[in-house]
Amino acid sequence: MLQGESLLHRADPAVGATFLAYMAIVLAIGLVAWRRTENIGDYILGGRRLGPLVAALSAGASDMSGWLLLGLPGLAYLSGLKALWLAAGLLAGTWLNWRIVAQGLRMKSERYGDSLTIPEYLERRFSPPTGKASASGAALRAVSALFILFFFTIYTSSGLVAGGKLFTEVFGLPYMDAVLIGCGAIMAYTFLGGFLAVSWTDAFQAILMLAALLIVPAMAISALSVTADSNGLAASQRLMAALASVADQDLSIISAISLAAWGLGYFGQPHILARFMALSDPEQAVSARRIATSWALIGMAAAIAAGLAGSAYFTKPLGDSEKVFIMLVKALLHPVPAGICLAGILAAIMSTADSQLLVSSSALTEDFYRRLFRPAASQRELVWAGRLTVILVAAAAALFAADPESRVLDMVGYAWAGFGAGFGPVIVLSLYWKQMSGPGALAGILAGSLTVILWRQLEGGIFDLYEMVPGFLTCLLSCMAFSLLFPNRSR
C-alpha cells in the first residue's frame, strides 16, 4: 500500500458529514458575530476587543493559509530540508513582527484618529499637525488602498485555487465548481460577521490546522516503520537516502536568501497588522507573541515532516507535489480522522481568504466609498457597503483562480512580496523614525510595489532572487531619501 489505496472512496458520507459539521460551526460563529456588529468599527476591526489568544491564533491562521498544508509540504517533498530556510525566515519574521510592530501600531493607530485601516492610519500619521486632510495624505491613502486591492485579489485567488484542489481531489468535483463552492462558503460568514467572525473562526481553524498537522506526519512515520518497497527496502531507509541525496545538492546563495527573505514580508501584511490594531490592550502583544511564535514553530515543523514523509512513502512521483498532504490523508487515515484532517486543510484555506476579503472590503468601503464619495454615510450604510464589497472582491478573486494549473506557493509568494516590500519598511519607519514624511511614505510604497511587479516579469541570474529582497530595499531607501528631501511636519 505504498502508493496509498484511498480509504475515502467508501467513506464519502463520513467525510462529507465532517465537512458539513465544520461549515455549520463557522457559519454559526458568523451569525453570533452578526449580532455583535453594530457599526463600521465593529465590522472592520471588531471594536478593538480581541484578547491575546484569539489575536495570536487568528493572526497565525490567516498568515499561514493553505500553503502551510499544501505549499510547504510540497516544497519539502520536492526539495527536502531546503524547506527549513523558508521556515526559519518565517519564524523569525513572526517573532519580530509581534516584537517591534504590534504594540506600537496598536497604540498609534488609535492615537491618530482611531484609524481602522492601514491606508487610513498612514494618511492620519502623516497629516499636518492641525489634523486637517491634505492632498498628499489623500494620495497616500488612495495609492495604499489600490495596491492592497491588487495584491489581495491575487492572494485571495491563491486560497480559492487551494480550495479547488482540495474539493476536486476529495469529492471529484470539476475544478471551477470546487472553486465556486469554496468561495461561497468563505464569503458567507465574512459577509455576515465581519472582523469578529473572521477572527473567531480563524482561532478555531488554527486549532484544527494544528491537529491535522500533528496527526498526519505521525501516522506517516508510523507507516514508514512497517512498509517496504518491491525490493524489500524499508521506506524509512528510502527517506534517509533521499535526505542524504538532498544534502549533497548545493543550495545557491540566491536560493537561500530568497527562501529566508520571506520573513521580511510580515511587517507589511495588512491582514496580520489588523490583528495588532484590534488588540483590546497594547500590553497583550507580549503574551500574544509567545502564543503566535509557538504555534508557527510547531505548525511549520509538522508541515515539513509531512512533506519529507511523503517523499519516502509514495514510490511513484506525485503529479502535483502540493497534494502530498492530501494524498497522505487519503492513504493513511480512516474516514472520520481523514475528514477532520481534510477539514483542517479547508480551515487553512478559509482562515486566510476570509481575512483578505475583509481587508479588501475595508479598503473599498473606508478608503474609497466613505473617504471619496460618502463622507456623511451612516454606520448602517457603511456596514452594508462593506458586506457588498466582500461579494465583489470574492467574484474578482474567483476569476483569477480559474486556471487549475496555478501553483499556490507561487501566487502566495507574489502577493506576500507585494505587501512586504510595498508596506513593510513604511510601517516600521512610521513607528520609529521621527524624520519620516508623507512624501517618503508614498515614494516607498510606489517604489517597493512596482519593483516587485517588474522584477516578477524577469528571470535568469540575479533576477532569480525573490522579488521581496529588491522590493524591500528599494522601498526602504526611497522612504529615507524622499523623507529627507521632502520633509513635512507630520503629527
What is the C-alpha separation between 265 and 255, in angstroms, rounded?
Answer: 17
- Dmax over CA atoms of the chain, in Å, equals 79
Of 309, 330, 3, the closest CA to residue 172 belongs to: 330
| pLDDT band with cut points at 50, 70 and 90 for residue 482 | very high
Please check the confidence at residue 235 and state whether its pLDDT lies above 60: no
pLDDT of residue 132: 60
Higher model confidence: residue 491 or residue 6?
A: 491
Lowest mean pLDDT among 192-201, 252-261, 478-487: 192-201
What is the C-alpha separation between 270 and 107, in angstroms, rounded?
Answer: 16
What is the C-alpha separation between 215 and 293, in angstroms, rounded?
Answer: 20
Higher model confidence: residue 388 or residue 170?
A: 388
| Mean pLDDT of the region 134-153 | 82
Highest mean pLDDT among 116-130, 287-301, 316-330: 287-301
Please check the confidence at residue 447 and state whether its pLDDT lies above 80: yes
Please check the confidence at residue 60 and state whether its pLDDT lies above 90: no
Lowest mean pLDDT among 197-206, 235-244, 259-268, 300-309: 235-244
Please check the confidence at residue 18 and state whether its pLDDT lies above 70: yes
Ramachandran category for residue 114: left, alpha or beta (phi over 0 → left; psi -120 to 50 → alpha) = left
What is the C-alpha separation between 379 and 391, in angstroms, rounded?
Answer: 19
pLDDT of residue 489: 59
| pLDDT band with cut points at 50, 70 and 90 for residue 412 | confident
What is the C-alpha separation between 460 and 138, in angstroms, rounded?
Answer: 39
pLDDT of residue 233: 53
pLDDT of residue 409: 61
pLDDT of residue 287: 94
Please check the confidence at residue 388 and state whether its pLDDT lies above 50: yes
| pLDDT band with cut points at 50, 70 and 90 for residue 237 | low
Please check the confidence at residue 10 and state whether its pLDDT lies above 50: no
| Mean pLDDT of the region 253-272 | 87
3-state secondary structure the chain: CCCCCCCCCCCHHHHHHHHHHHHHHHHHHHHHHHHCCCCHHHHHHHHHCECHHHHHHHHHHHHHHHHHCCHHHHHHHHHHHHHHHHHHHHHHHHHHHHHHHHHHHHHHHHHCCCCCCHHHHHHHHCCCCCCCCCHHHHHHHHHHHHHHHHHHHHHHHHHHHHHHHHHHHHHCCCHHHHHHHHHHHHHHHHHHHHHHHHHHHHHHHHHHHHHHHHHHHHHHHHHHCCCECCCCCEHHHHHHHHHHHHHHCCCCHHHHHHHHHHHHHHHHCHHHHHHHHCECCHHHHHHHHHHHHHHHHHHHHHHHHHHHHHHHHCCCCCCCHHHHHHHHHHHHCCHHHHHHHHHHHHHHHHHHHHHHHHHHHHHHHHHHHHHHHCCCCCHHHHHHHHHHHHHHHHHHHHHHCCCCCCCHHHHHHHHHHHHHHHHHHHHHHHHHCCCCCHHHHHHHHHHHHHHHHHHHCCCCHHHHCCCHHHHHHHHHHHHHHHHHHCCCCCC
What is the C-alpha separation between 465 and 264, in angstroms, rounded?
Answer: 14
Query: Could you give the percent of the chain with pLDDT greater than 90?
Result: 23
pLDDT of residue 454: 94
Q: What is the mean pLDDT of the chain?
A: 80
Distances (CA, A) of 177 to 48, 164, 350, 351: 37, 8, 17, 20
| pLDDT band with cut points at 50, 70 and 90 for residue 421 | very high
16 contact partners, CB below 8 Å, separation of at least 6:
171, 339
Please check the confidence at residue 92 and state whether its pLDDT lies above 90: yes
Please check the confidence at residue 270 and state whether its pLDDT lies above 80: yes
pLDDT of residue 340: 77
| Mean pLDDT of the region 242-262 | 69
380: how many CB neighbours lie within 10 A of its CB? 11
pLDDT of residue 254: 84
Of 216, 185, 174, the closest CA to residue 346 belongs to: 185
Show the cell assigned to 332.
Answer: 493513511
Cα pseudo-dihedral 245, 246, 249, 253, rounded to 10: -170
| CATH 1.10.760.10 is held by the domain 12-115+144-258+271-400 | no
Residue type, 315: T
| pLDDT band with cut points at 50, 70 and 90 for residue 314 | confident
Higher model confidence: residue 36 or residue 85?
A: 85
| Mean pLDDT of the region 42-52 | 79
| pLDDT band with cut points at 50, 70 and 90 for residue 13 | confident
Please check the confidence at residue 85 and state whether its pLDDT lies above 70: yes
pLDDT of residue 2: 43
What is the C-alpha separation between 255 and 10, in angstroms, rounded?
Answer: 43
| Mean pLDDT of the region 142-148 | 87
| Mean pLDDT of the region 241-266 | 72
Q: Is 280 exposed, middle or buried (0-12, 13-18, 19+ CB in 10 A)?
A: middle
What is the C-alpha separation between 163 and 86, in angstroms, rounded?
Answer: 23
| Mean pLDDT of the region 361-385 | 76
What is the C-alpha separation between 195 and 362, in angstroms, rounded?
Answer: 10
Please check the confidence at residue 245 and state whether its pLDDT lies above 70: no
Please check the confidence at residue 451 and state whether its pLDDT lies above 90: yes
Higher model confidence: residue 68 or residue 384?
A: 68
Show the cell assigned to 433.
Answer: 523614525
Grid cell 498612514 — which residue? 122
